[in-house]
């Protein structure tokens, strides 16, 4: 089997070796679905689309002759995600509030890299519909989406990707994904010639950034996992690391909100 060289990554030597070893299996692909999976033992997950896209767009050719690329597979997967389907998270985006921004992040990143006008023409309306659906989840206008899950343990699962936590209402994992998606959408809509949509995304990103720390910062200075529907913070286990590279959107949101 062809094993292409690992992409160049920043970091110490241990991190580079670990990445070179793990990256070939990070892009789990189901050819019967035409979708990438969350991991090798999982199913397609729409709220993991952003991570898949960032890796696929940086991956070297998947075949020795260069005829197969992860970017081509990503394009096909986004076609399916935007048209709707039966993957995990579909139809319950009011619970998994990272679902819409994850797919939008993936689409905007794909277009930023490829400038694929055919993809834009085919899915412009669908991307706009997802964008408006994301806006509709912000019920109080502060830029942060509110999940239908209350975040107090009344129901199994939660609003974030870590769905066995009882995260709900506003969660600090999904929110930076939305921030990064909005940031990318500004550039995408400007490239597409829709300045009004670009400005709307920029304004909502500004609101989200301003609200992030007041919403999630605990008295200890750490970032809470979520704020429930009664306004109480939960899971105060995350330390702000403004210079951290991961998660990128989280570090950008917290750094710029200071």
Q: What are the pLDDT digits (tens) for 155-176?
A: 666 787 665 667 889 989 899 9
Domains assigned to the chain: 13-257 (1.50.10.10)
pLDDT at 130: 95
Contact 184, 127 (CB under 8 A): no
For the record, the structure tokens of 212 come out as: 């992030």
Q: What are the pLDDT digits (tens) for 35-94?
A: 888 766 777 888 889 988 998 898 878 788 888 888 999 999 999 999 986 677 777 788
For the record, the structure tokens of 127 come out as: 């991307």
Contact 181, 187 (CB under 8 A): no
Query: What's the whole-model pTM score?
Result: 0.83
The pLDDT of 133-149, averaged and rounded, is: 93
Q: What are the pLDDT digits (tens) for 89-132?
A: 777 788 889 999 999 999 999 999 999 999 999 999 999 999 99
H/E stretch holding 101 reads helix 99-114
pLDDT at 168: 86
The pLDDT of 129-136, averaged and rounded, is: 96
How far is the CA of 70 from the CAs of 19, 33, 53, 225, 251, in angstroms? 17, 15, 9, 33, 27
Contact 30, 38 (CB under 8 A): no
The pLDDT of 240-255, averaged and rounded, is: 42
């Amino acid at each position: 089997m062809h094993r292409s060289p690992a992409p160049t990554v920043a970091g110490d030597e241990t991190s580079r070796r670990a990445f070179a070893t793990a990256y070939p299996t990070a892009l789990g692909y189901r050819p019967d679905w035409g979708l990438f999976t969350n991991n090798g033992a999982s199913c397609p997950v729409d709220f993991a689309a952003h991570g898949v896209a960032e890796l696929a767009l940086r991956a070297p050719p998947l075949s020795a002759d260069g005829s197969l690329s992860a970017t081509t597979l990503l394009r096909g997967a986004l076609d399916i995600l935007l048209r709707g389907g039966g993957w995990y998270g579909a139809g319950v985006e009011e619970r998994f509030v990272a679902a819409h921004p994850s797919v939008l992040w993936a689409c905007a990143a794909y277009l930023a890299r490829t400038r694929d006008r055919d993809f834009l023409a085919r899915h412009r309306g669908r991307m706009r519909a997802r964008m408006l659906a994301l806006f509709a989840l912000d019920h109080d206008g502060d830029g942060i989406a509110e999940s239908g899950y209350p975040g107090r343990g009344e129901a199994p699962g939660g609003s974030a990707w870590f769905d066995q936590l009882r995260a709900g209402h506003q969660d600090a994992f999904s929110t930076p994904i939305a921030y990064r998606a909005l940031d990318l959408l500004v550039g995408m809509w400007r490239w597409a010639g829709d300045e009004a949509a670009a400005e709307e995304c920029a304004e909502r990103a500004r609101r989200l950034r301003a609200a992030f720390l007041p919403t999630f910062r605990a008295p200890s200075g750490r970032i809470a996992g979520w704020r429930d529907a009664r306004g109480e913070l939960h899971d105060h286990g995350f330390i702000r690391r403004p210079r951290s590279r991961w998660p990128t959107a989280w570090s950008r949101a917290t750094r710029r909100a200071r």
